[in-house]
Chain A
């Protein structure tokens, strides 16, 4: 069994990292630019980001490969660079990783819908995920983090692509919105449904990231815990962003989020971390809240 799963099985609560996009934008990524291209053009920035999170106490960091599928990279004209940009993303995080820490290969949505909702066939989408997985493995990741998903079909293809290509652990997390009738992904998946079906599909760790504020995430995690025995990961936004004087502001402070993290663990989370709007200061507060609090 892998070290990451061993530590979770031993009852440890692990702390993941914070946002990637927020950091890259603060360090030169143009609005609408291709984040993964930075793995080639700005390796120091990407490596330093990982180093900052590890220094803040992250047990694991994600690679800068969220949009690293062929479908996504092709929109920027980099469709032929999938293996290169994923490998480089993984290597940069690896170079910053202290012994005993973990590098998670980030795999985000492809941006395509499966037939009949869209034009992607299951075979094509599966191969697209396999290609990204191979690049991440070449760059030496410890596990995969399939994240921000809405469609269970797409998520399960990604899980299977990772499982059939490697022996590494697979994390799969989906993004929920609070609508008039409760918590659903854009495709209508519930936290309970996702926990059951992703566990059945072979995900070693399930969870939720992005989309909503931490108070709602507590509810999602509790619902998922009622439906699976697998470890649960959560990456939470620093609230819902708003614009003030032309600047993007995430309302939730590290202190506010950290104050709710012990409750997140009680609700069933085994790995906690941040999503949009969070940085190393948040990670530092999370570590304190669950280790020393």
Chain B
């Protein structure tokens, strides 16, 4: 088993010691970080610190050195965002810090994405995300999208006030099989269930998996409306999306 001292980057060691409290997550994080080469750990550390210029520079340098784009994404960017997600879930950091980390992630992905798509490498999964019809709130949905992208998903963001038809069109256009729906208002929450019904009516329900979330949404409500899964936080959203992507 990997030991924390197998991780070369001191700042990563400190982050794990200080902020990753759940034993199973800590073990997993030590293992993946220890496996990553030091220059990838440096990218991860810059992601956690939210330094987008550093991530930009280090990613470019790693590619120039001949390191595989997929390795940079997995061992550098995604590993870093993994710790960011845990810190956010556990109240060590909040929305402003997560936004800075997401900007850093983006600075790295702008070098990686063209290479991956040119070489035809498949993402972890494809997810369609939208705030449901009548609801203009997108902060939570956007955090989920950042975390999903940070975990290697390809995400199609339909924005706010998304009608059932828009969700259906997006499934047909992008071939994604996971749909994430968000609502902040209690009054627009029922539109989640109506969207699922529209998929049933269009005979498309069996092609997709629905995950739902948002401040007023509960696991019970998710069950009632016939969703496949509920996530309380942006970290859970990633876990749920991974589970649902495997299902299909």
Contact = CB atoms under 8 A, between A and B. Distances in A.
Bound pair: A and B?
yes
A242 to B, nearest CB: 6
Contact of B94 (A31, A111, A184): A184
A241 B186 contact: yes
B123 interface: no
A32 B188 contact: yes
Contact of B185 (A31, A180, A240): A31
Nearest to B161: A32
Interface centre among B100, B186, B191, B216 (most CB of A within 10 A): B186
B93 A31 contact: no
A10 interface: no
A32 B139 contact: no
A94 B178 CA distance: 50
A24 to B, nearest CB: 10
B135 interface: yes
Nearest to A72: B136
B95 A242 contact: no
Given A32-B161, A242-B220, A188 B94 contact: yes
A116 B52 CA distance: 12
B99 interface: yes
A283 to B, nearest CB: 21
Contacts of B221: 242-243
A113 interface: yes
Given A241-B186, A243-B224, A117 B91 contact: no
A179 B136 CA distance: 25
B192 to A, nearest CB: 11
Contacts of B186: 241, 243, 248, 276
A226 B207 CA distance: 55
Contacts of B94: 184-188
Contacts of A186: 94-95, 139
B38 interface: no
Contacts of A100: none
Interface in A204-254: 240-243, 246, 248
A181 to B, nearest CB: 4
Contacts of A181: 90-92
Nearest to A186: B95
Nearest to B93: A188
B99 A75 contact: no
A242 B134 CA distance: 19
B91 A182 contact: yes
B218 A248 contact: no
Nearest to A188: B94
Nearest to B92: A181
A30 interface: yes
B188 A31 contact: yes
A165 interface: no
Contact of A241 (B103, B190, B216, B224): B216
Contact of B95 (A32, A117, A182): A117
10 contacts: A31-B191, A32-B133, A75-B136, A111-B137, A180-B90, A186-B95, A188-B93, A188-B96, A188-B97, A248-B187
Closest 3 CB pairs of A and B: A32-B134, A188-B94, A181-B91
